[in-house]
Amino acid sequence: MNTGYIILGIAVMALTTYFIRMLPMAIFRKKITNVRIRSFLYYVPYAVLAAMTFPAIFSSTGTTGSAVAGCVAAVILAYLKKGLLTVAVGAAAVVFVVQMLGF
Amino acid sequence: MKKKEFVQGIKDGFPICLGYFSVSMAFGLRAVLLGMPVWSAVAISLFNLTSAGQFAGLNILVAQGTMVELALTTLIINMRYFLMSLSVSQKVHSGMKMLHRLAVSYGITDEIFAVSMQYKSDLTGAYMAGLILTPVLGWTGGTLFGAVAASFMPSALTNAMGIALYGMFIAIIIPPAREQKSVLVTVVMAIVASLGFTYLPVLKNLSGGWAIIVITLLVSGIAAWLFPIDVPAEDADVLGDQCVQENVETEVKCQ
């Protein structure tokens, strides 16, 4: 593959992505005081993460059965307020065991 | 103080680093299988630091697509970072220098954003530097490893690691959803909407990147309208704000 084409392509992708991330940080330098907008921004993380996780999590491991088991494990661990690493590794461990069992 | 925050960032970034390593391994492996040189896979990961966005970009590059196509696809898939960056801009310490803001912007990924929103006080440059550094190492390191060695890994292991990042997201949304009805309602609405955009006719035709943006705008908007929060714009923690000053004198005062 043409090296020049690859480099140009990487630059286009990188700059596009960077501008999306950089513009709000550069523009909104003052704290927004409007309660509606502050409330909106407060809920953004929960909305975006929940939408990205479900239903995508069920096709993240190669088999639906192991993904469901891993998801249940993650929800239980998170409900018990375990840390990020514990929940992530716990879910992965459950998936691994379930796959070893043949699901 | 700055060093302590940097180390805290490194620690908080560690779970992201682990999750990234496995996902980017898959990216590196795929890039090489599609005929891309190893250095280019690593460069894509280092300069983009996105998951879905660079997988899509890779496919376009391999198909020798046009630069316009590449830019538009990247824009659509990554547009959600605009909303995340907007949230981060409201949580960074108000005295953060422009140069630091521009540097922090590079590292606003789904996961780094999620963890930074959990941080108990204003975000400082030192904390963000640590929080971005570990995941970047995991992401580019995993890509390199995947490009040269992933074909030797057992599939049960790589499959299992595929759920790690979602596990982390769940760890972030469940505890506050347990405590606050408003967050619970937000999460349930977002899941229902996401299922709709995945399976319902017409709705499912919208690309994944746009669907996430529409759901986020809609659900956060409804939640803000139903449950407005009354957090003051400036945190009352004045001492905490002063501790972040760059000069040594303030740093000493804080300790």
Q: Pick A49's closest partner by Cβ from B19, B48, B114.
A: B114
SS (H, E, C) A61-82: CCCHHHHHHHHHHHHHHHHCCC
Domain around B200: 2-254
Q: Residue B114 and residue B125: Cα distance in Å, rounded?
A: 17
Q: Residue B202 and residue A68: Cα distance in Å, rounded?
A: 27
How far away is chain B from the Cα of A50, in angstroms, using its nearest Cα? 6
- Contact at CB, B67 and A8, closer than 8 angstroms: yes
CA distances from A7 to B36, B44, B140 (A): 12, 9, 17
Cα B163 to chain center, whole Å? 16
What dihedral angle (degrees, nearest 10) is formed by the CA atoms of B85, B89, B95, B96?
Answer: 0
Query: Which residue ranges of chain B lie beneath pLDDT 50?
Result: 233-255
The pLDDT tens digits of the residues spanning B129-180 come to 999 999 999 999 999 998 998 667 777 887 887 788 788 889 989 999 999 9
Q: Residue A70 and residue A66: Cα distance in Å, rounded?
A: 6
Q: Pick A54's closest partner by Cβ from B18, B85, B194.
A: B194
Percent of chain A past pLDDT 90, that is, above it, reads 70
The pair of structure tokens assigned to B148 is 């040269």
Partner B contacted by A74 (CB < 8 A): yes
Partner B contacted by A87 (CB < 8 A): yes
Angle at CA B145, nearest 5°, toward B143 and B146?
A: 65
Please report residues of B whose CB lies closer than 8 A to that of A16: 71, 74-75, 78
Please report residues of B whose CB lies closer than 8 A to that of A74: 163, 166-167, 170-171
Q: Pick B160's closest partner by Cβ from A32, A79, A95.
A: A95
Partner B contacted by A17 (CB < 8 A): yes
The pLDDT tens digits of the residues spanning B14-34 come to 988 988 887 888 789 889 888
- Contact at CB, B37 and A74, closer than 8 angstroms: no
- Contact at CB, B173 and A57, closer than 8 angstroms: no
The pLDDT tens digits of the residues spanning A33-91 come to 899 988 998 898 899 889 989 998 999 888 999 999 999 999 999 999 998 888 988 99
Q: Give A11's contacts (C-beta < 8 A, 6+ positions apart).
A: B47
Assembly ipTM: 0.88
The pTM of this model reads 0.77
Interhelix angle B164-179/A64-79, rounded to 10 degrees, is 40
Q: Is there a contact between B22 and B150 (Cβ–Cβ < 8 Å)?
A: no
Please report residues of A whose CB lies closer than 8 A to that of B53: 13, 17
Q: Pick B108's closest partner by Cβ from A16, A21, A83.
A: A21
> For residue B125, which of B249, B244, B33 has the smallest C-alpha distance?
B244
Q: Pick A55's closest partner by Cβ from B176, B198, B230.
A: B198
- Predicted pLDDT of residue B252: 35
- Predicted pLDDT of residue B253: 35
- Contact at CB, A25 and B183, closer than 8 angstroms: no
Number of domains in chain B: 1
